[in-house]
Amino acid sequence: MKNDITIKHKLGLGTAPLGNMFRDVPEEEAMETIQSAWNEGIRYFDTAPFYGAGLAEIRLGEILSSYNRNEYLLSSKVGRLVLDETEEKEGLFEYGRKNKIQTDYTEDGTLRSIEDSLKRLKTDRLDMVYVHDISPDFLGDEWVTKFDEARNGAFKVLDRLRDEGVIKAWGIGVNTTTPIEVALELEEAHPDLSLSATQYTLLQHERALERMMPLAEKSNGGLVIGSAFNSGALLGGDHFDYQDITPEIKERVNQFNEVALNHGVKLKDAALQFSTAHPAVKAVVTGSTRPDRIKEDLQALGAEIPAAFWAELIEKGLVSPKATIPGK
The set of catalytic residues is 51
- List of residues 6+ apart from 150 with CB closer than 8 A: 79, 105, 131, 134
- φ/ψ (deg, to 5) at 73: -105, 140
Q: Which parts of 219-325 fold into alpha helices (H)?
A: 247-263, 267-277, 293-302, 307-315
- φ/ψ (deg, to 5) at 71: -90, -5
Task: Confirm if 193 and 171 have CB atoms less than 8 A apart.
Answer: yes
Length of the chain, please?
328
Strands (E), the chain: 11-14, 44-46, 73-78, 80-86, 99-103, 128-132, 169-174, 194-197, 223-226, 239-240, 243-244, 281-287
DSSP state of 316: T
Q: Which of 104, 129, 101 is nearest to 114 (CA)?
A: 129
In whole angstroms, what is the distance from residue 307 CA to residue 294 CA?
26
